[in-house]
Structure 1
Amino acid sequence: MNRPHARFDRGQTDDLMAFLAASPSPYHAVANAAARLEKAGFEEVAETDSWDASTGGKYVLRGGALIAWYVPEGAVSHTPFKIVGAHTDSPNLRVKPIPDSGSHGWRQVAVEIYGGPLLNSWLDRDLGLSGRLTLRDGTTRLVNVDRPLLRVPQLAIHLDRSVHTDGLKLDKQRHLQPVWGLGDAHEGDLVRFLEQELGLAAGEVTGWDLMTHSVEPPSYLGRDNEFVAGPRMDNLLSVHAGAAALAATASDALDFIPVLAAFDHEENGSQSDTGADGPLLGGILERSVFARGGSYEDRARAFAGTVCLSSDTGHAVHPNYAERHDPTHHPRINGGPILKVNVNNRYATDGSGRAVFAAACERAGVSFQSFVSNNAMPCGTTIGPITAARHGIKTVDIGVAILSMHSAREMCGAEDPVLLTNALASFLES
């Protein structure tokens, strides 16, 4: 198929920075990705409605997850899928069910640790509050207090002289509770504050999924602006690239169905109705097959021909800790996307998967790098092995190399988001 390749430039990085700033929670991330897809002609479909065989771009939203796909003209019931997988959640501090706490004249917000954040990166940082509110009538509202509201104050050096000899030691229960006011804590204070922020009547909010975020905006960094510093690159960088690639490559000239699968809850195991280890993706792909008149046999044929690129951030070689990396695998910032390999299946890539990604990169004119963990260091994992095992589809783990992963503020190369998006677009259109 000889279609012109969709190419992205440095403006993609500018748009990524805007996306990061506007997406402090998974719920905001999927809303913003959906808005970009709608601009490209995609339409939301409800899971509770009956689906038909209509063609074109469609997407489903469920909480902090988004599944979007494009059915080209001429697609048959056993047409295979090409999937870009990613996740919308990032490690942070999340508000507890009884949020109002405090002591010694300080009003605080009770938080729980979500995922595996670098705890010290949340100290002495101006924090906002964002997420989803559920109202008495069952509807939901997004909330984003994107101004300095909370802070986790670090203990002064004068009160902990041992920090230089013994290192910083943080108790997750006692030392990470942010302050946000003076006086005695009163039940309902935080929820009433948020109701006022949104112009809601008192008592209208009956449920919440809230989290903190750094209010410092993303920015270019470096002598020549060759870096980007910002929050939630793990893994909104991939969500943003996947949405851009899908919007740009959706076409009736395709002989497969391109898909973006952006899941929630990857940072704590993916086991939820919106996580990669849940039924969401499989159910939607199956309904797409059946809506086009397919049988279980057609579903099996479609899945057998399906390929997924699981895109997540990985570790660039750190100049101060190079010994922590494998000595022959040193992914570099702005060196192009990385191909992740682990023979113990912490990543899903095998040799044939490497060939798929290599072909996409070659067509896009993008160089890629290989990543493998140091044998003496535990290897992380992604949605890749989960997707492969749960659905029986070929899956390849890729991503962008960054520094400060799981910090409140991470760092990538300014060129790498462009290179990743071009590689994903090549994969989806080839």
Structure 2
Amino acid sequence: MRSQEFNRDLLAFLAVATTPFHAVAAMVARLEEAGFIGLPADGDWQLQPGQRYYLTRNGSSLVAFVAGTEGEPAAGMRMVGAHTDSPCLMVKPSPEKQRSGYFQLGVEVYGGALLNPWFDRDLSLAGRVSFAGPDGRLQTALVDFRKPLAIVPSLAIHLDREANQNRKINPQTDILPILALQAGPEIPDFRELLRQRLLVEHPQSTVQKVLDYELAFYDTQAAAMVGLREEFIASARLDNLLSCFTGLQALLQADGKQSCLLVCNDHEEVGSLSTSGAQGPLLLSTLRRIAGDESGLLSLVQRSMMISADNAHGIHPNYADRHDDNHGPILNAGPVIKINANQRYATNAETAGLYRLLAAEEEVPVQTFVVRTDMACGSTIGPITAGGTGIRTLDIGVPTFAMHSIRELAGSEDACNLGRVLRRFYNYPGSLTPA
């Protein structure tokens, strides 16, 4: 029953978190409802024990933390990290295309997207728009059309008899979404379409001119419980909004005695090197301000631990040979500790050991993932955070299928179970360093 309530809330979150900007806005709304206080990007922070705080960067990354009543930050912070971005198709700056009587938009592939599933989907469009108001000043607002307005039709098999054997996708020419039939000789002005949408979503604004945008197409099919007994969750953006939501729920349920923190970074799917990415200054600069001085920061770093939560590859029954024989995670068999000897994951024996202790206390099963030795291994914000801050880190994730597809699949018990362990981690009263 506990997982059913958790999953209903997760599905509601996924419905509104259509871009990193919308995900952060949704998380901020939940944080403020729970009494978290927004902090300015500049100016002094007057932090008080027992208070809860948050800050955002670029509107697409977030840090939320609790100043513990019994464990001050310098005594060690319990941290969870995730990322807000997912592979997608982003609209180019000058996107208008007129081909064979159809109006299309040029797109750029963001991240390592699995492109085949993007065909024949009802697509909508969302993101952030900058515009000039009547006084000429720069303003920004979020937009989400929230209805099907585009599609990328497949080429019929009659015109490509080898499609099921060797069809290749050219991202420059083959995945341009169709928005409309061309009504006349004039190509529609995309920025004017955005201006009209801004007026619909923000009627109080007076948009004079759209200046620029960061917009992504997304699948309008709602997240759903799937399976004979609803064993699965099917949705877009499970990688990694599932972890963002799980970490947020755990933080909201923290008892406040220990100092704890959640960071959700943007741009993980493209390397994390940005102002709001894990390879940028967001986390370390926040920790420095929390600690108060360099001495406090050194103590905080040495006594803290980070759990990097990012989905893991479940063993696919149709492709079981793609996994190491002893390390094939099964959906709904527990969160997965991710290990790589070449440091593509940041897990070590200490961080994995503490997680196993916490999971045992919650009676949550634990699995491990090690990539086949003859295959390349992906990575996460874990090694980036560990290398950039010096904080000991564990990489863990919920097992999923179809990672980086437009629709991914996870077990309906795993996220809730991970959330239980993360909550216990946030409330863990002992030292985070081994005796």
- Correspondence 1:182 to 2:181: yes
CA distance in 2, matches of 1:8, 1:49: 42
CA distance in structure 2 between the partners assigned to 1:250 and 1:190 by the alignment: 47
Aligned AA for 2:408? E
Deviates more, 1:40-49 or 1:74-83: 74-83
Q: Quick check: 1:8–1:422 contact (8 Å CA) kept in 2?
A: no
Q: Select the residue among 105, 108, 113 that pairs with 2:109.
A: 113
Contact 2:61-2:276 at 8 Å conserved across structures = yes
Compute the displacement of 1:250 (Å).
Answer: 4.1
- Distance (whole Å) between structure 2 residues aligned to residue 203 and residue 77 of structure 1: 47
Q: Does the 8 A contact of 1:214 with 1:408 survive in 2?
A: yes
Aligned counterpart in structure 2 of residue 210 of structure 1, from 206, 215, 220 = 215
For the pair 1:60 / 2:63, whether they are aligned, the reply is no
Q: In the alignment, which residue of structure 2 is the partner of 1:245? A: 250
Tell me by how many angstroms 1:213 deviates: 0.5
Q: Which residue of 2 aligns with 1:219?
A: 224
Summarize the Cα distance change of 1:203–1:182 in structure 2 as closer, same or farther, 3 Å threshold. farther
What whole-Å deviation, never above 9, does each CA across 1:10-44 have from its counterpart, x for those lacking one?
21111111111110000111111111222221111
CA distance 1:8–1:281, change in 2 (3 Å): farther
Q: CA–CA distance in 1 between the matches of 2:70 and 2:151?
A: 55
Report sequence identity in percent.
Answer: 39
CA distance in 2, matches of 1:193, 1:153: 27
Question: Residue type matched to 1:58 in 2?
Answer: Y
Structure 1 range deviating more: 184-193 or 103-112: 184-193
Q: Do 1:331 and 1:338's aligned partners in 2 also have CA atoms closer than 8 Å?
A: yes
Query: What are the residue-to-residue correspondences of 1:123-142 with 2, within 5 Å?
Result: 123-136=119-132, 137-142=137-142
After superposition, residues 42-191 of structure 1 pair within 5 angstroms as 42-55=36-49, 56-62=51-57, 63-73=59-69, 76=72, 78-136=74-132, 137-165=137-165, 167-183=166-182, 184-187=186-189, 188-191=191-194
The answer on 1:30 being equivalent to 2:16 is: no
Which range is displaced more, 187-196 or 241-250?
187-196
Deviation (angstroms), 1:189: 4.5
**Equivalences for 1:175-324 in 2 at 5 Å?**
175-183=174-182, 184-187=186-189, 188-198=191-201, 199=203, 201=206, 203-251=208-256, 253-254=257-258, 257-290=259-292, 295-324=293-322
The code of the aligned residue for 1:287 comes to R
RMSD: 1.5
Q: Give yes or no for the alignment of 1:348 onto 2:346.
A: yes
CA offsets, 1:295-318, max 9 Å, x none?
A: 311210111001000000010000
Q: Cα gap change, 1:201/1:106 in structure 2, threshold over 3 Å: closer, same or farther?
A: farther
**Residue in 2 aligned with 1:335?**
333
The one-letter amino acid of 2:227's match is: G
Aligned to 1:3: none
Give the whole-Å Cα distance in 1 for the aligned partners of 2:41 and 2:276: 13
Q: Which moved more, 1:261-270 or 1:77-86?
A: 77-86
Tell me how far apart the structure 1 counterparts of residues 365 and 10 of structure 2 sit (CA, whole Å): 21
Question: What is the CA deviation profile of residues 125-144 of structure 1, one whole-angstrom value per residue up to 9, with x for unaligned ones?
Answer: 00010011122233321111
Q: Distance in 2 between matches of 1:272 and 1:201?
A: 31
Aligned to 1:10: 4
After TM superposition, give the deviation of residue 76 of structure 1 in Å.
4.3
- Separation in 1, partners of 2:87, 2:3: 29
Q: Write the distance in 2 (CA, Å) between the matches of 1:201 and 1:154.
A: 40
Query: Shift of the alpha carbon at 1:196?
Result: 4.4
**C-alpha distance in 2 between matches for 1:103 and 1:367:** 54
Cα deviations by residue, 1:34-76 (Å, 9 ceiling, x for unpaired):
1122222111111123211323110001121000000023554
User: 3-state DSSP class of the match of 2:129?
Assistant: strand
Structure 2: runs of 5+ lacking an equivalent: 429-435
Deviations 1:174-199 (A, max 9, x none): 00110101115233344344334434
2:426 is matched with: 428
Matched residue of 2:283: which SS?
helix
Contact kept in structure 2, 1:57 and 1:250, CA below 8 Å = no
Contact 1:70/1:250 (8 A) holds in 2: no
Distance 1:147 1:29, change over 3 A: same
Letter in 2 for 1:191: L
Query: What is the DSSP-based 3-state SS (H/G/I as helix, E as strand, rest coil) of the residue aligned with 2:364?
Result: coil
Rounded Cα–Cα distance in structure 2 between residues aligned with 1:117 and 1:87: 16
In 1, Cα distance between equivalents of 2:199 and 2:296: 52
Structure 1: stretches of 5+ with no match in the other structure? 1-6
CA distance in 2, matches of 1:345, 1:219: 35
